[in-house]
Amino acid sequence: MKKIITLLIAFQLAITGTRAQIQQGNIMVGADIADFDLSLNEGGNFAIFLNPKLAYFFTDNLALGGYLNFGLVTSKGGGESIDYGLGLLGRYYLSRDINVVRNSRFFLEATAGIEGTNPASGENTNGLGLGFGPGWTYFLTSNVGLEALLKYNGIIGFGERVTSSDLLLSVGFQIYLPSAQLQRRLKSSGSGNQ
């Protein structure tokens, strides 16, 4: 009988675990990486796009926050290209009924901010950056999610080209922190230093 009760409790924790990360009051922090390329051939190139994120869940399933973009592409003899960005992020997690894999959630992400792309060819674009796309998070633990995101990024502005656009497939990790627990830890570490 004890084994059955223990099994039922573990099953209930597994079911509710996916919802706990994306509840009101939690904080999401992490980063995505896209287009990682390290060519080992002579004259090869190096490319990486890194996208750190920080968001707060104002309601269940809806997080709002900020993001940074940094992209670097170098090639021997071809110069280097730099991408950058800073702006606002919104993420909405879809209903649990839509997901086919346990401990996972689909989401939609949208971004808006100041971005630029400055390729070695000289056809730069700097201005308003807009992005949106679907993603999927698989929760490895109760606080860590592995995710994939297919996102369109466009820049409208000024430079030698008026617009620039990319479609990026990225993978990343997000950590979901309960803000009440985080506040308790900060208070306890602050009172211990006095």
* Run of H or E residues at 133: strand 125-139
How many other CB atoms are there within 10 angstroms of residue 116's CB atom?
A: 19
Asked if residue 97 has pLDDT above 80, the reply is: no
Q: What pLDDT, in 10s, does the model give residues 163-180? A: 888 898 999 999 999 877
Domain ranges within the chain, ordered by starting residue: 2-192
Please report the pLDDT score of residue 100 as a whole number. Answer: 73
Q: What pLDDT, in 10s, does the model give residues 45-61? A: 888 899 999 999 999 99
Domain spanning 2-192, CATH class? mainly beta
Highest mean pLDDT among 47-51, 108-112, 184-188: 108-112
Percentages (nearest 5) of helix, strand, coil residues in the chain:
20, 60, 20
Q: Read off the pLDDT of each residue in 148-158 and give the average, rounded to a whole number.
A: 92
184 burial level (CB within 10 Å; 0-12, 13-18, 19+): exposed
- How far, CA to CA in Å, does 95 sit from each of 22, 79, 98? 11, 46, 6
Q: What is the pTM of this model?
A: 0.78
